[in-house]
Amino acid sequence: MEEDLNQIVNSCNYNGEEEQGDPESNTLNQPLVKANRTLSSTPLALVGTKVSHIESLDYEINENDLFKHDWRKRSKTQVLQYIFLKWTFACLIGLFTGLIATLINLAVENIAGYKLLAVGHFLAQERYVTGLMIFAGGNLGLTLVASVLCVCFAPTAAGPGIPEIKAYLNGIDTPNMFGATTMIVKIIGSIGAVAAGLDLGKEGPLVHIGTCIASLLGQGGPDNHRLKWRWLRYFNNDRDRRDLITCGSAAGVCAAFRSPVGGVLFALEEVATWWRSALLWRTFFSTAVVVVVLREFIEICNSGKCGLFGRGGLIMFDVSHVTYTYHVTDIIPVTLIGVIGGVLGSLYNHFLHKVLRLYNLINQKGKIHKVLLALTVSLFTSVCLYGLPFLAKCTPCDPSIEERCPTNGRSGNFKQFHCPKGYYSDLATLLLTTNDDAVRNIFSSNTPNEFSMGSLWIFFVLYCILGLFTFGIATPSGLFLPIILMGSAYGRMLGGMMGSYTSIDQGLYAVLGAASLMAGSMRMTVSLCVIFLELTNNLLLLPITMIVLLIAKTVGDSFNPSIYDIILHLKGLPFLEANPEPWMRNLSVGELGDAKPPVVTLQGVEKVAKIVDVLKNTTHNAFPVLDEGEVPPQVGLGTGAIELHGLILRAHLVKVLKKRWFLTEKRRTEEWEVREKFPWDELAEREDNFDDVAITSSEMQMYVDLHPLTNTTPYTVMENMSVAKALVLFRQVGLRHLLIVPRIQAIGRSPVIGILTRQDLRAYNILQAFPHLEKSKGRKAH
């Protein structure tokens, strides 16, 4: 996808010259290789299913004169207001996420429940064709609603949303990702897609919904109807919004699995790039509120006030009442589950990558093709779920089992389907039910003979196929549940093969299989371990769960990246990885800067005509501000030295022009003049639309004093710093721009020789400008 986007934007291909020696054998004080072309970047990426223009976020504190003045005059009351609002928002994020999660669970269980009851009515009358028509027709209708909403109203609501959230917290602005329309479509679409029986989960969408709630709270509501409350001005910046969205992602995972600690660790391990202890406390508070809300609704629903909900949708596998024992000999099957999970997880990632590329070609043909693709997958799923149980043998009910057998209702562990009285179909028990009930059934303990090996094989193969071809259609979808279903199937099969060799229950094998496949595909360990621990509510499972997760992740990492990293790459989102490439240590930022066009600078007091020209003819988002002849004599550089005053953002230049803050003469302004024109919180707003600004010819000859609006403390690096070190600094601090300064400050030489952005530090873009590094990289890999 990234290469395709670059070909579309740049419309060019590069043919590298023959390599002249090994570039990595050069010393650091010599130029590594001559750049063959300038660094290029693609400002386009897929957000949901929509191609969007991508910009970076301003996580850095802009320390201009206005900010410094506001910081000095803040009273203790204002500081307390700010802290109080942070905790209030954390509470509200948890409250609303818990309520919406309960709503989704109630809707899914009731819609799917009544659909299955209708199908069961026709099955009891042996009207199998009518049952199929009702089943497939209901699923098609639900899928149609979910797909049309995503395609026509909120394309960013399609998919899980977690890769885009990771990108946002990494510093990438993902347009329309956290809006009110996106959230509403995500809620309704998730209900429709999951109730339709598609091999999708609501876990990923719940994470996205949690972040939408956080973003809407922080900005005071939807874009067109924002609250103008004075206290909200504290959160009118990317930095505080990042913290809120981190809380929202943790609350979403907690709502999906009823796992508060697991939600916090998921945010820390998987989605957050930047973290601190204060944020840890607020995310934990948000997840605690979610658990309280869910717990209250569990009590209400247990009393039968939730229709067909019962206990479904909130507790997948509770084994707190079961005592498990395992011995040293059980390490062998546990290790085997971990290895299988790592191999199958990497295979799943590989084939899903191919399928998503194919779906991208189909989706490019238009909205109708997106909807037809979703309906085709829904029809195929319905036919398989309804038709495959006819292939399974009927099993006589065990009279010693306390649970009712057989049943044809909404749920139950022994579905009768087409079997005679006193018999049940084990495959129908797994297929003709909701996804949550399927997980609950296959996780069931003390049922060693409930599912035959043939039915488990059919179930496993079917969900491998559905897991590959369902993810990627234009509906809200999560990856957690499909992977859990696949993993639990092979885990239970392995438990059956072990027989009397092991003392571990087959239900526990199913849990370990699900955990191993999730670790093998998503490459999470600590958060997954805690999530499964909180799901099972049994500390005895902790040691073997840890072993399985570590083995599965290690095996999977040896083949390919995690599934979310693959999706980030496919979408073309410029995500910065934590670890730089080894060859980046042999390339300096000065050489990287030489491969870019010359840096565009502005004077401290600049002419309006120059500012207009720069804004019209460049797409840069920041410009160094220089002052000539203003260096104090005591510095010892002599006359003619140039001072780097700082960095000014494009949005601030546009705001200056829109407010027409012009001077008739070239002079520095007083502090009160700028404070009178620009409230400090107003500068945090993104306003880079220059098209509607009309400047007269007389105004073109006026001047603007840029000093009060300039960030006087931008991050800088010496030109001899390695790219690897600069990348680590850029990512960990959350920068948008990084200035390159010369080692020697000479008279007449510019104090800044380049600016690095996110796109400049990406390995793919660097290799386009320095193709010899690609050859060296490939040779070292062998």
State the pLDDT at residue 553.
96
At 54, is the pLDDT very low, low, confident or very high (cuts 50, 70, 90)? confident
At 169, is the pLDDT very low, low, confident or very high (cuts 50, 70, 90)? very high
Q: Could you give the percent of the chain with pLDDT greater than 90?
A: 45
The rounded mean pLDDT for the chain is: 84
Query: In the CATH scheme, what is the code of domain 582-779?
Result: 3.10.580.10
State the pLDDT at residue 277.
87
Largest CA distance in the chain: 101
Instruction: Read off the tokens for 301.
Output: 């629903």
Helix (H) or strand (E) holding 429: helix 426-431
Using the predicted structure, report yes or no on whether residue 8 has a pLDDT greater than 70: no
CB atoms within 10 A of CB 618: 12
Using the predicted structure, report yes or no on whether residue 314 has a pLDDT greater than 80: no
Torsion of CA 637, 639, 642, 643, to 10 degrees: 70
For 408-454, the pLDDT digits (tens) are 766 667 777 888 888 888 888 889 888 888 888 888 777 777 888 99
State the pLDDT at residue 245.
95
At 41, is the pLDDT very low, low, confident or very high (cuts 50, 70, 90)? low
CATH topology of domain 328-571: Clc chloride channel (1.10.3080)
How far apart CA 161 and CA 167 sit, in angstroms, is: 10
Instruction: Read off the tokens for 13.
Output: 């291909």
For 18-38, the pLDDT digits (tens) are 333 443 334 433 443 344 445
State the pLDDT at residue 31.
40
Across the range 270-294, mean pLDDT stands at 93
Nearest to 707 by CA among 665, 745, 673, 660: 673
For 367-389, the pLDDT digits (tens) are 999 999 999 999 999 999 999 99
For 423, phi then psi, to 5°, come to -125, 155
CB atoms within 10 A of CB 753: 18
pTM for the whole structure: 0.89
Angle between helices 277-302 and 238-257 (to 10 degrees): 30
How far apart CA 133 and CA 111 sit, in angstroms, is: 17
Q: Could you give the percent of the chain with pLDDT greater than 70?
A: 86
Alpha helical stretches, state H, 665-722: 671-677, 697-700
Where do the DSSP E strands lie in 498-652? 602-603, 605-607, 622-628, 642-649
At 638, is the pLDDT very low, low, confident or very high (cuts 50, 70, 90)? low
Domain boundaries, the chain: 328-571, 582-779
CB atoms within 10 A of CB 328: 6
Across the range 567-596, mean pLDDT stands at 90
Q: DSSP state, 50?
A: E
State the pLDDT at residue 715.
94
At 42, is the pLDDT very low, low, confident or very high (cuts 50, 70, 90)? low
Query: Amino acid identity of 672?
Result: W
For 174-211, the pLDDT digits (tens) are 888 999 999 999 999 999 999 999 999 888 999 999 99
Using the predicted structure, report yes or no on whether residue 256 has a pLDDT greater than 50: yes
How far apart CA 208 and CA 205 sit, in angstroms, is: 5
How far apart CA 418 and CA 75 sit, in angstroms, is: 74
For 511-537, the pLDDT digits (tens) are 899 999 999 999 999 999 999 888 877
Using the predicted structure, report yes or no on whether residue 2 has a pLDDT greater than 50: no
State the pLDDT at residue 5.
46
At 776, is the pLDDT very low, low, confident or very high (cuts 50, 70, 90)? low
How far apart CA 357 and CA 93 sit, in angstroms, is: 35
For 65-110, the pLDDT digits (tens) are 888 877 777 788 888 888 999 999 999 999 999 999 999 988 998 8
Across the range 476-492, mean pLDDT stands at 93
Torsion of CA 433, 436, 442, 445, to 10 degrees: -120
State the pLDDT at residue 688.
61
